[in-house]
Amino acid sequence: MNFDCKPLANYPLRERNTLGFDVVAQWALPIPQAEQIPVAIRWAKNAGLPHRVLGGGSNVVLPAQLPGLTLLMDIDFIEVLENLAAKTRLRVGAGTNWHAFVRWTLDHSFLGLENLALIPGTVGAAPIQNIGAYGVEVKEYIDTVEAYDCQTNQWVTLSRTDCRFSYRHSVFKDEPNRFVITAVIFDLPKVWQPRISYADLTNYFANRAVDAITAPAIFDAVYAIRTQKLPDPKVIGNVGSFFQNPVISNQQLQSLKGQFPRIVSYPESATHSKLAAGWLIDQCGFKAMQMGNVGVHDKQALVLTHRGGGNAGELLGLAGQIQKKVKETFGVELTVEPMIYSEQ
């Protein structure tokens, strides 16, 4: 089938970035079908323009003028490939809403993704930073990723190993804009164990019978906890955690503990530990701070907020101040988690 490529000029993206910044894409193209992608990429290359993909816009910081071609990922389907005694294999379109997909799996008694409920955005973006919450990472359930490789102009299927998943990271972050993900294949094993080791979940289930700890109950718990703790992007602009939790050597942790006995850390490996970045930011006095149109959330200092009228420059200015103060106080670098796009 031949597709005409007719991108839309000066396309407003305010509704498609959860920070709610006023953003205009030079060119934008809704992509409801994978077959449009090679044509669109060729169009951008011929015009000498950069391209990128936008899902739900919940992990990006966009400039007022976004140059080049922005592909709006709208491929939306859920397909059951196999439903075996040991596992269920699902193929899901990249534009499918993540939370709706998680709810669909539980409605069909396919268990495993419940800890990842209420993460905004699309299925196609889930592999990008290997989304994770409450001790579960999506990589555990991904079999393969289908994508168009804009470098080689070929359709590819990437295995879990090819994706090089690590903590909030993957090959897709190492090579931004190279792959346009069109579908993700998930394997959900039939053997299921609840995972409620995070304090908020442990406390939620503390006074409940063990047989009440079902996957739908965990979905409901995560939904309730997150709704209470995180700002709803429809009301207050945000991209969730603005910084990654830093991983440091156990040696550095011991020395920090001498100075800051209450520092919050979790073992990451035999030699390294993860620090709670929200705690570091809170200790530096930023929690609930407002700076012009942007600020720091009052219930979780890892979340930066935008209440209207602001822009990427303002937000990155605040982020820079936080990074500087945390470095001065603890000697620890904070890495920004969302993808930052510039006007160039």
Q: Which residues bind ligand NAP (CB under 6 A)?
A: 132-135, 197-200, 229-230, 240-241, 245, 266, 276, 278, 300, 337
Would residue 269 show up in a list of annotated catalytic residues for this protein? no
Tell me whether residue 183 or residue 322 sits nearer to ligand FAD (CB atom).
183
Decide whether 149 or 268 has the Cβ nearer to ligand NAP: 268
User: DSSP for 151-185?
Assistant: TTTEEEEEETTTTT-BTTB-HHHHSTTTEEEEEEE
Q: What is the closest distance, in whole angstroms, from the C-beta atom of residue 331 to ligand FAD in the complex? A: 26
**What angle is formed at CA 221 by the lines to CA 219 and CA 223, rounded to 5 degrees?**
70
Show contacts with ligand FAD in window 238-267 (CB under 6 A).
Answer: 238-240
Is 15 assigned a catalytic role?
no
Task: Give pairs for 167-171: CB < 8 Å, separation 24+.
Answer: 167/130, 167/132, 167/137, 167/244, 167/247, 167/268, 167/274, 168/129, 168/130, 168/131, 168/132, 168/244, 168/337, 169/129, 169/130, 170/127, 170/128, 170/129, 170/130, 170/139
58, 103, 170, 241: the active-site residue: 241
- First CA to last CA distance, the chain: 34
322 binding ligand FAD? (CB under 6 A): no
The answer to whether residue 156 forms part of the interface with ligand FAD (CB under 6 A) is: no
241 catalytic residue (yes or no): yes
Which of 114-122, 194-202, 265-273, 305-313 is the region at the interface with ligand FAD (rule: CB under 6 A)?
114-122
52 binds ligand FAD, rule: CB under 6 A? yes
Minimum Å distance from CB 98 to ligand NAP?
Answer: 12
Applying CB under 6 A, the site for ligand FAD has a residue count of: 35
Binding partner of residue 247 among ligand NAP, ligand FAD, none, CB under 5 to 8 Å per kind? none
Those residues whose C-beta lies under 8 Å from the C-beta of residue 216, and which sit 6 or more positions away, are: 106, 114
Contacts of 61 (CB under 8 A, 6+ apart): 19, 21, 239, 312, 315, 316, 338, 339, 340, 341
Which residues are at the interface with ligand FAD (CB under 6 A)? 18, 52-60, 73, 94, 119-122, 124-126, 128-129, 131-133, 172, 176, 179-181, 230, 233, 238-240, 339
For the annotated catalytic residues, the residue numbers are 168, 241, 337
